[in-house]
């Protein structure tokens, strides 16, 4: 990952915490979804000049930092092949356990192809439960068929 983008992301998260903002607050001010906004702030998406300008104004950034927000990132922010953070590791575990199931079910429904991570939406919400609140994540990606020559 670009060290400068990563450092800027850490700076913006610190400002976010200092000001008591939520990702929903920031997303509403920038006019984007919270998931995309968080990914962009963390350096995994590139911003348009307009969004970078709004972000710079919101966070008090200089021109160089606003320009950095517009750079195309080197995507993939994990430092190791197998994540060591327990929360992130659980997603890795989900892929290891259910990956072949997801592949089989998606390909049965759609055919030979993949789900896009580019034309993609994701929402996250809390679901109250008497046994402990649950995390609900909904992902929606465009299906892309493999071409046959």
Cβ contacts of residue 91 below 8 Å, gap of 6+?
83
Question: Is the C-alpha dihedral spanning 51, 54, 59, 65 positive or negative?
Answer: positive
Tell me: do 107 and 141 sit in the same domain.
yes
Q: Which tokens in the block code for residue 127?
A: 């679901």
- CA gap 113, 119 in Å, rounded: 14
What confidence tier does 143 reach under pLDDT thresholds 50, 70, 90?
Answer: very high
The per-residue pLDDT for range 109-134, each reduced to its tens digit, is 999 999 999 999 999 999 999 999 99
Give the CATH number, domain containing residue 49.
1.10.260.40
Catalytic residue positions, numbered: 90, 93, 116
- Does residue 97 lie in a domain region? yes
* Number of structural domains found in the chain: 2
State the residue range of the domain holding 64.
Answer: 3-70
- Does residue 121 lie in a domain region? yes
pTM (2 d.p.) = 0.81
């Amino acid at each position: 990952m670009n060290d400068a983008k990563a450092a800027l992301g850490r700076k913006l998260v610190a400002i976010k915490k200092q000001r008591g903002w939520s990702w929903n607050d920031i997303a509403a001010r920038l006019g984007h979804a919270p998931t995309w906004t968080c990914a962009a702030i963390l350096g995994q998406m590139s911003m348009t000049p307009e969004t970078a300008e709004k972000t710079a104004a919101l966070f008090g950034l200089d021109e160089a930092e606003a320009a950095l927000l517009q750079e195309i990132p080197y995507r993939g922010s994990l430092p190791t092949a197998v994540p060591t953070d327990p929360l992130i590791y659980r997603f890795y575990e989900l892929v290891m356990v259910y990956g072949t199931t997801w592949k089989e079910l998606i390909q049965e429904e759609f055919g030979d192809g993949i789900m896009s991570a580019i034309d993609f939406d994701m929402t996250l919400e809390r679901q109250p439960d008497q046994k402990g609140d649950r995390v609900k994540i909904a992902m929606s990606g465009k299906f892309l068929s493999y071409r046959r020559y």
